[in-house]
Amino acid sequence: MILQLYLVGERYSPWLVIDEGKGYKVKGEVYSVTSEVLAEMDRLERISEPDGYRKVTIQVLCIESGELLKAYAYGKPIVQLKNADIRKKLAGEYLLEHSELYRSRN
């Protein structure tokens, strides 16, 4: 599975885009959570909504141990990118400077 990162729309929402064709390695963090927290994340990411994120299982490489792990990631299908207001394509990592651009719905 290939991943790409974008900042989208006037809110500069971070989109991890799932594409079977092209992309690059994405750096991120992995957390262990309870099933209740995972269910809350599913609601937050609106996985049951047509324009929401999709929860997918990906394989990740732990930089510290070199171990391959399976993890969930929330991403957008490549088709949702077609009409998106792309503000910036990121080079594999969502940094503090990117988070400062983000605008909450509230």
Structure confidence at residue 64 (pLDDT): 92
Domain ranges of the chain: 2-99
Name the pLDDT band for 92 (thresholds 50, 70, 90): confident
Q: Using an 8 Å Cβ cutoff, are 5 and 90 in contact?
A: yes
Q: Is 92 left (phi over 0), alpha (psi -120 to 50) or beta?
A: left
CA dist 68 → 30, 61, 62, 100 (Å): 12, 5, 6, 31
Q: Using an 8 Å Cβ cutoff, are 76 and 53 in contact?
A: yes
pLDDT in tens, 16-40: 998 776 667 788 889 999 999 999 9
CATH annotation of 2-99 = 3.10.490.10
pLDDT at 51 over 80: yes
Structure confidence at residue 1 (pLDDT): 63
